[in-house]
């Protein structure tokens, strides 16, 4: 293939002009193609009068247990809980979006705020819109709150898929913990029973999931509002993995 220098030497400099102000076109837009720092499972369980969420605080950088105090359950407004699996930076972006919604409610000052089901629907449209732009937010979200006096629990995935249930789990917990939650669920569960159930499920996940740790948060939302506990560690017992006669 002829080179530019060959062209110039053949026709001479008088026949070639260059635009000194020419700029190369911008690089094509690029998007996140895979999560980087990720959080694992979030569990949700309804009880008689509210909802309990639970999540560990590990942020994994690939297979490296890099960050041990990433808090993946947040309170929106006063009575809505949002828990997230997946890419942590995308969860921070979602938090910014929700903060704008809360600020708009405050500025309107009409005595009304968005309900959990409205936020659940809104997040579904946000994630579906980003998916259509080929720039998804790599998260699975659990939304919990009180809707007209009744507990509400819904899940939104990165493709915009949405569904509600009495028990929900994201990440590896959808395979390991969800069956346990279903077996333990009763409509008349008390708050203490629900807390103990999700705690036991998180303990099982710690044994089975290489992307979790035994430092977790438990959040509760009921008619009195929403509350997220400080991270705490639970006891483990690895003797269950020993063969009979081993110490």
**pLDDT mean over 1-9:** 51
Region class of 151: left (phi > 0), else alpha (psi between -120 and 50), else beta: beta
User: Among residues 214, 242, 166, 245, which one has the least CA distance to residue 58?
Assistant: 214
Q: Does the pLDDT of residue 2 top 80, yes or no? A: no
CB 52 within 8 A of CB 191: yes
Residue of 5, 30, 32, 140 marked active site: 32
How many Cα atoms are found within 13 Å in the side-chain-facing hemisphere of 191?
Answer: 12
**Cα 109 vs. chain centroid, distance in angstroms?**
30
What pLDDT, on the 0 to 100 scale, is given for residue 247? 65
What percent of the chain has a predicted confidence (pLDDT) above 90? Answer: 72
CB 83 within 8 A of CB 72: yes
What pLDDT, on the 0 to 100 scale, is given for residue 245? 73
What pLDDT, on the 0 to 100 scale, is given for residue 169? 97
- Pairwise pLDDT comparison (91 vs 1), residue with the higher score: 91
Is 30 an active-site residue?
no
Quickly count: other Cβ atoms within 10 Å of residue 163's Cβ. Answer: 11
Q: Whole-prediction pTM value?
A: 0.83
What pLDDT, on the 0 to 100 scale, is given for residue 7? 47
């Amino acid at each position: 293939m002829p080179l530019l220098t060959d062209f110039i030497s053949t026709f001479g400099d008088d026949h070639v002009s260059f635009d000194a102000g020419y700029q190369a076109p911008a690089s094509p837009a690029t998007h996140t193609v895979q999560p980087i720092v990720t959080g694992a499972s979030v569990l949700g369980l309804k009880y008689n009068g509210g909802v309990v969420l639970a999540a560990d605080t590990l942020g994994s950088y690939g297979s490296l247990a890099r960050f041990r105090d990433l808090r993946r359950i947040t309170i929106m407004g006063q009575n809505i809980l949002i828990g997230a699996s997946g890419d942590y930076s995308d969860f921070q972006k979602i938090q910014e979006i929700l903060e704008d919604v809360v600020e708009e409610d405050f500025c309107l000052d009409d005595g009304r705020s968005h309900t959990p089901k409205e936020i659940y629907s809104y997040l579904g449209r946000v994630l579906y819109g980003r998916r259509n732009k080929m720039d998804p937010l790599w998260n699975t979200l659990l939304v919990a709150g009180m809707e007209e006096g009744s507990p509400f629990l819904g899940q939104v995935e990165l493709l915009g898929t949405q569904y509600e249930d009495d028990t929900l789990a994201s990440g590896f917990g959808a395979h390991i913990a969800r069956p346990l939650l279903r077996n333990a669920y009763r409509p008349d569960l008390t708050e203490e029973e629900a807390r103990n159930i999700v705690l036991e499920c998180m303990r099982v996940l710690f044994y089975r999931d290489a992307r979790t740790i035994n430092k977790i948060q438990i959040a509760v939302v009921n008619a009195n509002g929403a509350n997220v506990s400080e991270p705490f560690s639970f006891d483990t017992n690895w003797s269950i993995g020993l063969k009979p006669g081993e110490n």
